[in-house]
Structure 1
Amino acid sequence: MQPTLVILAAGMASRYGSLKQIQGFGPGGETIMEYSIYDAIRTGFGKVVFIIRKDFEQNFRDQFGSKLEGKIKVEYVFQDLNSYVESDVPADRTKPWGTAHAVLCAKSAVQEPFAVINADDFYGRDAFEKAYNFLVNDCNEGTYAIIGYELLKTLSDHGTVNRGVCRLDENGNLESIAERLNIALRDGKITCDDGMEPHELPLDSSVSMNFWCFHPSIFAISYQMFRDFVEANKENPKAEFFIPIVADEFSKSGKGVIPVIATTADWFGVTYKEDAPSVQASLDALVAKGEYPQNLWG
């Protein structure tokens, strides 16, 4: 069975200031996620599932409908505040429930091993090849995975970033992800400021860019955890149910392991509007090298 690609595209893009998921960056006006879909298709994925807000639907159908027809199966699922919430949503709750809730919203559309990515990040062909190989050969109810990126390759020239820094055990499996804030390259060193004394991080730290590989068993785990999360956070309208919360429970409860699969791919994304020219230049360079065609869909 071919694996599925699930794309998290329901975000508000608050720091960026626009619907960056469908902004064109490639030489043919391609969005960043089109390069991810292109890589997924050529490495063997059989379906793409867009997780979006309902009011994004027509934008996405206009953007991708004709381009992807006949190339890969496409489904749309919607994340809203009421999805999988069994009681009334608190009246002061306006913020989305988080990335793990978004993945849970894909439950009805995914019955096979699947990868999860962000819509606005470029991940690179090597990452998709490694994810595909894992999903086809090694993924099961007790083994999920995360694609690990080198921290130095994930920074922005236009401001600080927050990254989930992975801690690995002696077998290369994920022990934990620590969210580090205000990371930047300063005087040849990577430092972060977590609200206390700034401290240094190794240049080759493995970080999560939200590229996960899951077995469908994740849905049952997430569902139970989300019910408990909603109950525990009725009075906290900004609390979010993130994927690392579920991953941490999966590992620490003994349900299974999550290998960290290192990729040689370069990551880039658009955290800030000022990142857009460098993203366009990076895509132009990859096209010039022949890694992608001038027009993805010919």
Structure 2
Amino acid sequence: MKPTLVIMAAGMASRYGSLKQIQRFGPSGETIMDYSIYDAYRAGFGKVVFIIREQFSDDFRAIFESRLKGKIAVDYVYQNMQSFAEGYDIPADRTKPWGTAHAVLCASAAVHEPFIVINADDFYGRDAFEKAHQFLMKEANDHTFGLIGYELIKTLSDNGSVSRGVCRADASGNLIEIAERTKIYRDGSDIVYEEDGIKTKVPSDSKVSMNFWCFTPYVFSICKDMFSIFLQKNINQPKAEIYVVDVGAEFIKIPGNALKVIPTRSKWFGVTYKEDAPGVESNIKTLVANGEYPQSLWENV
């Protein structure tokens, strides 16, 4: 059974200011997601599942239906505010989705095989998908999950702060601790995260999660339990979210479980801010010029 690629694309892009997930960056109009799907396809993945907001369904289908037909199986799931929130009245001031852990939970009906979860607006690189495929086929099970780890210094934006899951692993590469830092940036020659107005230095070579996770469907039961507890505590908090990183942290608390931090040599880049877009386009142009991707990504697949 081939593993599945799950793409989280339901975010509102509040800092970016538009639906960045379907912005076209490639020379033939490719989105960043196209390159992720292409890398997953040639690594051996058999299906892609888009997690989107229902009002964007037509936009996504218009882009991907024709270009992916006959190449890789495609499915769509919707991250709705009401999903898995039965018995709760959603407050009127709650306008944003519940977070990435809830997004993963929303994919549970469409995924029945080992899978990876990624962000729609991050370019992860071919090596990351090959490493993830190898891990899913040879190592992953209900007690062994994984994440692709990138060096922090290679994941920053020049245009503002970023959110990163900072990892601490043992000598065997098993995750000991992961901390979601929602405001990381360069501060002179240092890299810091800021919390409650306090700055704390972070080593530049720290391995960080870019939301590239390797799971089995067992993760859905963890997400469901955690989301239920989250709602009990946060139903009236309009900006509270539950993250995939929280799921990973909970998973490794269970005796006998391990979460492998899988290093990659791939270069990451993404579009947190509109000002990041020219750099993304330039990076893709360079990769195409170097022969790592064709000029027209899907033409001869």
TM-score, normalised by the number of residues in structure 2: 0.95
Q: State the partner residue of 1:36.
A: 36
Partner amino acid, structure 1, of 2:126: R
User: Are 2:66 and 1:79 equivalent residues in the alignment?
Assistant: no
Write the distance in 2 (CA, Å) between the matches of 1:170 and 1:154.
Answer: 23
**For residue 58 of structure 1, what is the aligned residue in structure 2?**
58
Q: Which residue in the other structure is 1:238 paired with?
A: 239
Preserved CA contact (<8 Å) 1:81 1:89:
no
1:134 to partner: Cα distance: 0.4
Q: Deviations over 1:231-275 (max 9, x none)?
A: 222232322121111111111122611010011111000111111
Q: Check whether the contact 2:10–2:51 (CA below 8 A) recurs between aligned residues.
A: yes
Q: 1-side partners of 2:281 and 2:203: how far apart?
A: 28
- Distance (whole Å) between structure 2 residues aligned to residue 130 and residue 65 of structure 1: 27
Letter in 2 for 1:161: V
Counterpart of 1:265 in structure 2 is: 266
One-letter code aligned to 1:81: M
**Aligned position for 2:22:** 22
Equivalent in the alignment of 2:110: 109
RMSD value, Cα: 1.4
Question: Kindly tell me: are residues 77 and 28 of structure 1, through their superposed partners in 2, closer, same or farther at Cα, counting changes over 3 Å?
Answer: same
Q: CA deviation at 1:290?
A: 0.3
Is contact 1:52–1:79 with CA below 8 Å preserved after alignment?
A: yes
Give the paired residue count.
Answer: 298
Higher deviation after alignment, 160-169 or 16-25: 160-169
**TM-superposed deviation, 1:190:** 2.1
Do structure 1's residue 199 and structure 2's residue 171 form an aligned pair? Answer: no
- Superposition map of 1:177-256 within 5 A: 177-254=178-255, 256=257
Output the amino acid matched with 1:18.
S
* Letter matched to residue 165 of structure 1: V
Greater alpha carbon shift after TM alignment, 214-223 vs 164-173: 164-173
- In structure 2, the CA distance between the partners of 1:235 and 1:186, relative to structure 1 (3 Å rule), is closer
The letter for the 1-side match of 2:269 is F
SS state at 1:167 partner: strand
Q: What code does the residue aligned with 1:15 have?
A: R
1:197 CA displacement: 4.2
**Alignment check: 8 A CA contact 1:165 1:180 kept:** yes
Letter of the 1:71 counterpart: K
Partners in 1 of 2:91 and 2:109 — Cα distance? 27
Q: Distance in 2 between matches of 1:105 and 1:289?
A: 38
In 1, distance between residues paired with 2:189 and 2:234?
41
Provide runs of 4+ in structure 1 moved above 6 Å. none
Contact 1:162 1:179 in 2 (8 A): yes
SS in 2 for 1:235: coil
Q: Structure 1 123/196 Cα, relative in aligned 2: closer, same or farther at 3 Å?
A: same
Give CA-to-partner distance per residue, 1:144-197, whole Å, 9 cap, x none: 001000011101122222221111133321122222344333444323333344
Which residue type is aligned with residue 133 of structure 1?
A: Q
1:255 and 1:80, CA in 2 relative to 1: closer, same or farther beyond 3 A? farther
Query: Which residue does the alignment assign to 1:9?
Result: 9
Worse overlay, 77-86 or 1-10: 77-86
**Counterpart residue identity of residue 36, structure 1:** S
**One-letter code of the match for 1:70?**
G
Q: What TM-score, normalized to structure 1?
A: 0.96
For the 8 Å contact 1:44–1:132, the answer to whether it is kept is yes
Whole-angstrom CA distance in 1 between matches of 2:116 and 2:207: 19
**Residue 89 of structure 1, CA deviation:** 3.0
Letter in 2 for 1:164: G
List runs of 5+ in structure 2 lacking aligned partners.
none
Query: Which residue of structure 1 lines up, in the alignment, with residue 292 of structure 2?
Result: 291
Partner residue in 2 for 1:278: 279
Following TM superposition, by how much is the alpha carbon of 1:71 offset from its aligned partner in structure 2, in angstroms?
0.5
